Amino acid sequence: MTELNTAAAPLPSQRHLFDIPDGVAFLNCAYISPLPKASLLAGEEGLRRKAQPWSIAPADFFTTSEAVRTLFAALINAEADDIAFAPAVSYGLAQAAHNLPLQKTQSIVTLVEQFPSNIYPWMDLAERTGATFVSVPRPADDDWTSALLAHIDAATGIVAVPHCHWTDGGLIDLEEVAAACRRVGAALCVDGTQSVGALPLDVKRIDPDFLAVAGYKWLLGPYSLGFLYVAPRWQHSRPIEHNWIARRASEDFAGLVNYQHEFQGGARRFDVGERSNFALMPVVEASLELISAWTVPRIAATLRLRTEAIAVRARTQFDIDSVPADRRAGHYLGLRFRGGIPSDLPKQLAANNVHVSVRGQAMRVTPHLWVTDSDVEKLFAALETARR
C-alpha cells in the first residue's frame, strides 16, 4: 500500500480562520469548501484592482500565477514547471484526451460511478477512436485497487481514475496502479479533486501522465480555478487552445505582434486563457499558503482521526456501515445505510444545520479543520432524531 504519513501530529481546530456561524455543522468539504477569511480578503483586494486598472502592471500578469504554480507543485512534490492552470477537471482532462495516443484495439479503464468530468472525456475519446470503454464494477470487499488491477491488461491504453472514490472515499493505491500501467504501457490519468490537499500524493513516486484537480474543495480555493499536472514527457504536446500568454516572450507586451512559434516553458502551454485572473488568483494563493502552513500530512492525520471516530460511532450506535478504515481515504467518509439512505434524511439534517451530501449509495461526511466536537454531536443528535 502507498505509505500515508499517519505519524504527523493532528492540528487543533482552525475554525477561527473561517466565517462559519457557531450553529452550523458543515461536514461537506467534498461538496464545496468554505473560503478561509484570508482568501476572501485577498479576493476582495484582487477584484478591487480592476476598478483601478492603472495599478495593474504587465509584470502582474505573471507574478501571482507563478507563485501559485509553485505552491500547488509543492503539495504534490512536483516542479512548478509541471503545473498548468485549468478552470475545471473536464478542461484538464480534455488536454490529456487530446494528446494521449489510443488505438481502436485498446481500452480506457475507469471505475463505476466515477465523477462525470473524468468519464465524459474518455467516452468521447472511445467514440472517436473506436476503443473500448471499461467501467470497473464496485468490489464487494471495497478493495478498489485489486478490482482495478484485475482490469489492467495488455489491451489497456489509458487508466483514468481518482485517488479515492467520490461517493464513499474508497481508496485506490495509485503507486500499485501506476506500476501496473507501466508494465503494460498504459497511460495513467488521475482526478485528484477529492484528495489533493487532504491526502498525501507524490507525483515523483506515482509518475502519473496527467493529474487534474479542481480548486474549490480540499484546496479551499474559489470556484473555476484548478490545476493540471503534466508529466515532463507530455510537456511538448499540443494544447487544446492557443493563448498569447502561453507563448515565448509574452512578458514583452509591445512585442506580442511578433508571433511566436515557441511556448513558455514546461506545462505553461496548457494554461487556460486569461489565467492571470486578478480577482481569483490571489484567493488561491491565500488558500494554498494556509494549506502549506498546516501541511498536508497534518491535515490528513487530523481528518483521519475525525472521520474514523464518526465511522465507529455510526457503526456501533446506529448500525450504519462504511468502507473499512484501511480501504478508505482518511479524510473521506461515506455512510452506507442498510436498506438505503432514508430519502428525506439530508433535508432533515440540513434543517438542523448539519450539512452533508448524498452521492450514489453513500451519505458523505467530509469534515475539515473547521469542524469541532460539537459539530459531530450535532450530526449524531440529528441522526438520532431522524431515526425516531
* Nearest residue to 298 via CA among 155, 182, 172, 200: 200
Nearest-approach distance from CB 214 to ligand PLP, in angstroms: 4
> Please, which residues have CB within 8 angstroms of residue 142's CB and are 6 or more apart in sequence?
170, 323, 324, 327, 328
Identify which of residues 33 and 145 has a Cβ nearer to ligand PLP in the complex. Answer: 33
* Nearest residue to 136 via CA among 103, 159, 117, 102: 159
Nearest-approach distance from CB 88 to ligand PLP, in angstroms: 3
> Please, which residues have CB within 8 angstroms of residue 347's CB and are 6 or more apart in sequence?
none
Residue 28 interacts with ligand PLP (CB under 6 A): yes or no: no
342, 363 Cβ separation under 8 angstroms: no
Identify which of residues 109 and 383 has a Cβ nearer to ligand PLP in the complex. Answer: 109
Grouping H, G, I as helix, E, B as strand and the rest as coil, residue 334 is strand
Nearest-approach distance from CB 357 to ligand PLP, in angstroms: 9
Among 18, 61, 85, 115, binds ligand PLP (CB under 6 A): 115
Which residue is it, cell 488568483? 281
Residue 162 interacts with ligand PLP (CB under 6 A): yes or no: yes
Identify which of residues 90 and 99 has a Cβ nearer to ligand PLP in the complex. Answer: 90
Neighbouring C-alpha atoms within 13 Å toward the C-beta of 288 = 26
> Please, which residues have CB within 8 angstroms of residue 246's CB and are 6 or more apart in sequence?
239, 263, 264, 268, 269, 270, 271
Residue 88 interacts with ligand PLP (CB under 6 A): yes or no: yes
Grouping H, G, I as helix, E, B as strand and the rest as coil, residue 324 is coil
Identify which of residues 61 and 218 has a Cβ nearer to ligand PLP in the complex. Answer: 218
* Nearest residue to 328 via CA among 304, 356, 298, 297: 304
Residues in binding contact with ligand PLP, number by CB under 6 A: 11
Stretch that binds ligand PLP, among 71-79, 84-92, 273-281, 346-354 (CB under 6 A): 84-92
198, 303 Cβ separation under 8 angstroms: yes
Q: Which helix (H) or strand (E) holds 111?
A: strand 107-111
Identify which of residues 62 and 223 has a Cβ nearer to ligand PLP in the complex. Answer: 223
Site for ligand PLP in 247-306 (CB under 6 A): none
Identify which of residues 142 and 250 has a Cβ nearer to ligand PLP in the complex. Answer: 142
Residue 166 interacts with ligand PLP (CB under 6 A): yes or no: yes
Nearest-approach distance from CB 366 to ligand PLP, in angstroms: 10
Site for ligand PLP in 172-231 (CB under 6 A): 191, 193-194, 214
Among 90, 99, 322, 357, binds ligand PLP (CB under 6 A): 90
Q: Give residues in contact with ligand PLP (CB under 6 A).
A: 88-90, 115, 117, 162, 166, 191, 193-194, 214
